[in-house]
Amino acid sequence: MAGKLDGKVAIVTAGGAGIGAATARRFAAEGAAVVVADLSGTRAEQVRGEIVAAGGRAAAIKMDAAEPDAVEAAVRLAIDGFGRLDVLFNNAGMAEVSLLHETSLESWNRVIAVTLTSTFLGLKFALPIMRAQKSGAIVNTASISGTRGDYGMGSYNAAKAGVINLTRSAALENAHHGVRVNCVCPGAINTRVAQVMGKDRADDFRRTMGAAHPLGRMGEPEEIAATVTFLASDEAAFITGASVVVDGGLTAWTGLPRMPGAK
Q: Catalytic residue positions?
A: 156
Which residues sit opposite 105 in a β-bridge? none
- Long-range CB contacts for residues 122-125, cutoff 8 Å, separation at least 24: 122/11, 122/13, 122/65, 122/71, 122/88, 122/90, 123/88, 123/90, 123/166, 123/170, 123/181, 124/68, 124/71, 125/68, 125/71, 125/72, 125/75
Of the candidates 34, 33, 113, 122, the residue with the CA atom closest to the CA atom of residue 73: 122
Rounded-to-integer distance, Cα 232 and Cα 51, Å: 19
